Amino acid sequence: MCLGIPGKVVEIRDGGPLRMAMVDFGGARKEACLSYVPEVRLGDYVIVHVGFAISRVDEDEALRTLELLRTIDELALEQELAGGGDEARGAGLASS
């Protein structure tokens, strides 16, 4: 369920009863409602589902996840050499 696509807020329209925005999904743009993400500003990325932004993309977390994924084989090697507990990986992957 739940086709939610990340897109960039490129224009904000405050005119009507609901706060709307033009969101760019990498070349295709469509209007989305920002009512549920009042903290979002121009240039932020949001996850859009059926014309509503349901979440703001946390870019720091995104980077952190990617960094971790990129080095997954190095971490595995470290663990093999250390011969034991994977607190580092566990702590890194689990999120607060």
Partner 1 sequence: MTERQIAPTAADTPAAGVAPEAAAGVAPDPANLACPAPIPERARVLLGHGSGGQLSAALLRDVIGPALAAASPGGPLNDAAVVDVPAGRLAFTTDSFVVSPLEFPGGDIGDLAVNGTVNDLAMMGAQPLALSLAYVIEEGLPIEDLRRITASVARAAGRAGVRVVTGDTKVVGRGAADGLFVNTAGIGLVSPGVEVGADRARDGDAIVLSGPIGLHGIAIMSVREGLDFEVEIESDSQPLNSLVAAIVAACPEVRVLRDPTRGGLASTLNEIASASSVGIELEEGSVPIPGPVRAACEMLGLDPLHVANEGKLVAIVPEESVATVLTAMRAVESGSEAVEIGRVVADHPGMVTMRTIVGSQRIVDMMVGEQLPRIC
Partner 2 sequence: MKYVDEYRDAEIARKLVEEIHRVTTRPWALMEVCGGQTHTLVKQGIDEALPKGVRMIHGPGCPVCVTPLEQIDKALAIAARPEVIFTSYGDMLRVPGSTTDLLSLKARGADVRIVYSPLDAVRIAVANPDRQVVFFAIGFETTAPANAMAVAQAADLGLDNFTVLVSHVLVPPAMTAILESPTCQVQAFLAAGHVCAVMGWTEYEPIAERYHVPIVVTGFEPLDLLEGILMAIRQLEEGRAVVENQYARAVKREGNRSAQETVFRVFDVGDRTWRGIGSIPSSGYHLRPEFARFDAEARFEVGDIRTREHPACIAGEILQGTRTPLDCTAYGVLCNPQKPLGAPMVSAEGVCSAYHAAGRGLAAPTAFPLYDLSRAER
The residue ranges that bind partner 1 (CB under 8 A) are: 1-3, 5, 7, 22, 24-30, 48-50
Per-residue exposure over 2-34, b if at least 16 CB sit within 10 Å of its own CB, e if not: eeeebbbbeeeeeeeeebbbebeeeeeeeebbb
Residue 47 binding target from partner 2, partner 1, none, CB below 5 to 8 Å by type: partner 2
The C-alpha atoms of residue 10 and residue 89 are separated, in whole angstroms, by: 37
Site residues (CB under 8 A) for partner 2?
Answer: 1-6, 8, 17-18, 25-26, 30, 33, 35-38, 45, 47, 49-52, 54-55, 57-59, 61-62, 64-66, 69-70, 72-73, 76, 86, 90, 93-96
